[in-house]
Amino acid sequence: MIAQQRVCRVARDARRIGASRVPLAKAAPGRKVVAHVATATAEKVDVKQAGSFDFNTYMVDRAKLVNKALDDAVPLKYPETLNESMRYSLLAGGKRVRPALCLAACELVGGDVQAALPAACAMEMVHTMSLIHDDLPSMDNDDFRRGRPTNHKVYGEDTAILAGDALLSYSFEHIARATKGVPAERVLRVIMELGKAVGQDGLVAGQVVDIQSEDKEVGLDVLKYIHEHKTAALLEASVVCGAILGGADEGTIEKLRKYSLNIGLAFQVIDDILDVTATTEQLGKTAAKDLAVNKTTYPKLLGLEKSKQVADDLIKEAIQQLDGFDPVKAAPLVALAKFIGYRQN
Amino acid sequence: MIAQQRVCRVARDARRIGASRVPLAKAAPGRKVVAHVATATAEKVDVKQAGSFDFNTYMVDRAKLVNKALDDAVPLKYPETLNESMRYSLLAGGKRVRPALCLAACELVGGDVQAALPAACAMEMVHTMSLIHDDLPSMDNDDFRRGRPTNHKVYGEDTAILAGDALLSYSFEHIARATKGVPAERVLRVIMELGKAVGQDGLVAGQVVDIQSEDKEVGLDVLKYIHEHKTAALLEASVVCGAILGGADEGTIEKLRKYSLNIGLAFQVIDDILDVTATTEQLGKTAAKDLAVNKTTYPKLLGLEKSKQVADDLIKEAIQQLDGFDPVKAAPLVALAKFIGYRQN
């Protein structure tokens, strides 16, 4: 039972965007692959085009910008162990999807990318904190992440817990301290949105319900709750905070909120689907973990075809939210939705 | 060695104000004890007088106000396990020293107590988070706090970690969301001050250095760093944030910052002293833990008399910062300094 729970936990953990078992996207079906390049984080991405928009170059540039800002935000100072531990996980690579969403939303509504950069970094700090804490022995007990020993394997459980706490705390402080040229009311609203995405209405709540649902049959409402809170909530905050910082009106914020919730839920539905298709078609080395532990998934509850339809509808509906915008300005968010929605592994 | 470390950890942990081994103050030497009453948290406090100021009644009233606000701030909702776990530790009693400092500072500078109440609650949320995480098996491994099983003994390590995360995140969100009638710039500044008190410049850093200093000889600079960061930082934030929310000018904020840093450091020096005097005089059931594990303390570095002088000077200097204020308005902060400074256990 413990071993089974362990597998279940790994599968659950891998559902998060950015977890090590989720490689960067292959080309979307029917979309031309233009080139492969190494990202700033030394991972490979495939290019998707949205008109003349070069998604790959865009993501590489954004990752560079964000990685530099993160590096500056958490300098190596006394006590070095704490800051080394924070930096070890924060600067360990990753696609920087949340920062990219935040910056893209800010620019879409006419804001300057610098206005949203501290918030974009904060989203990555929170994401990193959640990974450090989830990897702990009392949680998922993972020894490796992104090909390296997990934080607690290097620095010990006590320091790993404290590094997570410091990153979480600093995410809020950094927004308050480093955001420039934006009215204070907007910055406060961003802090509220981020808090909602983390705590008893956010990813922590999703994690608790997921833990409680292990080895249980749960309904679609509970499954949707887990998916929406564990992953979609922080994607929502990333997009909505970018829009707020860029000065979006309420109608625009709500459109982008819908966009982000849709792509967040779609990511998880697709993760469920891939678990099944991987089993059937013998694709991928981490296949069929949900099936192995009899985990409740979208395909289990709705069937494979209906689940595919749900995911497809979610992505289409997400992209529809961008209809009223200048297509050139909306291209990054369109491409990010497709990147998330049409991945093959 | 493990057992010795364990004792050391307990001693270290107990250094925090509000830890279970630190009972509420007996009367200050030479001060008249007027009455004993039960606080809202069912603990006993002794009365100190500052002129006609009834400190005991004041603290009971403030604890009631804060406990009601905390109860309202974290309602019991889905997922109940998470919120039960948060409430179990948050509403477990305690003197509410940090909220009292926050509210008193706000009123001292002419602010309304309601303006600082969300921040006052946030200080207690952060304090509670630090206690939940410190009690974890990988940290101090404590089974009991305030006479009850610790959070992880009741809810499991995973939920305890997540409850701490949710409380930490919510502390910032709650300030941003619930603070009313205060310019947004001030609220943002409060969030910065709180963040500084928690993360790599605050109590987390202090905890890391304390862990690293176990079974080592450390100098006065390191000992002062630990004391200032583990305890004084959050006391500082409590006072300074109250003052900011009350609209204090920069000079007043800096005076109150000095007041709070002094009482925070004094608390720890006195804790070191009591460990020695308790050994000599056979007072108290948790006596001589620092001596038992050869922990570096103020008396060990400076001698007992010099340490007493340091503590006395710190409290006097703290109270001197309040000299320019209306004595009636300053009475709560004077009494709080004496409460911390002249405690006998």
For A72-87, what is each residue's pLDDT tens digit?
A: 999 999 999 999 999 9
d(CA B269, CA B227): 8
The mean-pLDDT minimum among A110-124, A293-307, B197-211 falls in: A293-307
The mean-pLDDT minimum among A13-22, A230-239, B87-96 falls in: A13-22
A177 near B CB under 8 A = yes
The answer, yes or no, to whether residue B253 has pLDDT greater than 80, is: yes
More confident residue, A314 or A293: A314
Are B205 and B229 in contact by the 8 Å Cβ rule? The answer is yes
Please state whether the peptide bond connecting residue A149 to the residue before it is cis, i.e. omega within 30 degrees of 0: no
pLDDT at A154: 98
B74 near A CB under 8 A = yes
Q: Do A204 and B166 touch (CB under 8 A)?
A: yes
d(CA B215, CA B212): 9
Position B292 confidence tier, pLDDT thresholds 50, 70, 90: low
B209 near A CB under 8 A = yes
Average pLDDT over residues B140-147: 86
Average pLDDT over residues B284-292: 55
**Torsion over CA: A37, A41, A42, A48 (sign):** negative
Are B133 and A136 in contact by the 8 Å Cβ rule? The answer is no
d(CA A146, CA B315): 51
The length of chain A is 345
Q: Do B79 and A209 touch (CB under 8 A)?
A: yes
- Per DSSP bridges, beta strands A148-149 and A144-145 are antiparallel
The answer, yes or no, to whether residue B6 has pLDDT greater than 70, is: no
pLDDT at B307: 94
Chain B environment of A205 (Cβ under 8 Å): 78-79, 82, 166
B199 near A CB under 8 A = yes
Q: Do B199 and A77 touch (CB under 8 A)?
A: no
pLDDT at A306: 95
H or E segment to which residue B235 belongs: helix B233-245
**B202 min Cα distance to partner chain A (Å):** 9
Residue of chain A nearest B77, judged by CA positions = A200
pLDDT at B51: 52
Residues paired with residue A38 on neighbouring β-strands, in sequence order: A44
Other CB atoms within 10 A of residue A38 CB: 10
Average pLDDT over residues A102-128: 98
**B31 min Cα distance to partner chain A (Å):** 41
Are B239 and B260 in contact by the 8 Å Cβ rule? The answer is yes
Could you give the C-alpha distances from B174 to A193, A342, B21, B77, B319, in angstroms and in order? 11, 38, 30, 17, 31
d(CA B228, CA B235): 10
Chain B, 84-103: which have a CB under 8 Å from a chain A CB? 86
Are A242 and A234 in contact by the 8 Å Cβ rule? The answer is no
pLDDT at A247: 98
Residue of chain A nearest B73, judged by CA positions = A200
Average pLDDT over residues A330-340: 95
**B178 min Cα distance to partner chain A (Å):** 10
Cα A61–Cα A194–Cα A170 angle in degrees, nearest 5: 75
pLDDT at A278: 61
For A127-154, what is each residue's pLDDT tens digit?
A: 999 999 999 999 988 898 878 999 999 9
A226 near B CB under 8 A = no
| 3-class state of residue B179 by DSSP | coil
Q: Where are the beta strands (DSSP E) in chain B?
A: 36-38, 44-46, 49-50, 53-54, 144-145, 148-149
d(CA B331, CA B343): 18
d(CA A6, CA A141): 8
Q: Do B195 and A184 touch (CB under 8 A)?
A: no
| 3-class state of residue B161 by DSSP | helix
d(CA B289, CA B311): 20
pLDDT at B116: 98
For A283-309, what is each residue's pLDDT tens digit?
A: 343 455 666 667 788 999 999 999 999
Which CATH number is B2-341 given? 1.10.600.10
Give helix B97-108 / helix B327-341 axis angle, nearest 10°.
160
Residue type, position B252, single letter:
T
The answer, yes or no, to whether residue A344 has pLDDT greater than 80, is: no
Cα A250–Cα A256–Cα A258 angle in degrees, nearest 5: 105
Residue of chain B nearest A179, judged by CA positions = B188
pLDDT at B9: 43
Average pLDDT over residues A39-66: 68
pLDDT at B8: 38
Of A82, A202, A211, which is closest to B204 when you measure between CB atoms?
Answer: A82
**Torsion over CA: B43, B49, B52, B55 (sign):** negative
Domain boundaries, chain A: 2-341
The answer, yes or no, to whether residue B13 has pLDDT greater than 60, is: no
| 3-class state of residue A269 by DSSP | helix
**Helices (DSSP H) in A213-303: which residue ranges?**
220-227, 233-245, 250-281, 289-292, 298-302
Q: Do B192 and A173 touch (CB under 8 A)?
A: yes
A183 near B CB under 8 A = yes
Of A77, A165, A205, which is closest to B168 when you measure between CB atoms?
Answer: A165
DSSP state of B323: T
Could you give the C-alpha distances from A254 to A169, B47, B245, B290, in angstroms and in order? 27, 54, 31, 57
A115 by Cβ neighbours in 10 Å (0-12 / 13-18 / 19+) ranks as buried
| Of A6, A101, A79, the residue nearest A335 (C-alpha) | A101
B178 near A CB under 8 A = no
d(CA B324, CA B330): 9
d(CA B55, CA B336): 8
d(CA B198, CA B294): 28
Position B280 confidence tier, pLDDT thresholds 50, 70, 90: very low
The answer, yes or no, to whether residue A35 has pLDDT greater than 50, is: no
| 3-class state of residue A283 by DSSP | coil
The answer, yes or no, to whether residue B7 has pLDDT greater than 50, is: no
| 3-class state of residue A44 by DSSP | strand
More confident residue, B142 or A183: A183
| 3-class state of residue A170 by DSSP | helix
Interface test with A, best of B140, B161, B234 (most A CBs within 10 A): B161
Number of H-type helices and E-type strands within chain A: 16, 6
Residue type, position B334, single letter:
V
Average pLDDT over residues A326-335: 96
- Per DSSP bridges, beta strands B148-149 and B144-145 are antiparallel
B229 by Cβ neighbours in 10 Å (0-12 / 13-18 / 19+) ranks as buried
Mean pLDDT value across chain A: 84
For B303-325, what is each residue's pLDDT tens digit?
A: 999 999 999 999 999 999 999 99
Residue type, position A29, single letter:
P
Of A82, A204, A209, which is closest to B205 when you measure between CB atoms?
Answer: A82
A302 by Cβ neighbours in 10 Å (0-12 / 13-18 / 19+) ranks as middle
| 3-class state of residue B136 by DSSP | coil
Chain B environment of A82 (Cβ under 8 Å): 200, 204-205, 208
B176 near A CB under 8 A = yes
Mean pLDDT value across chain B: 84
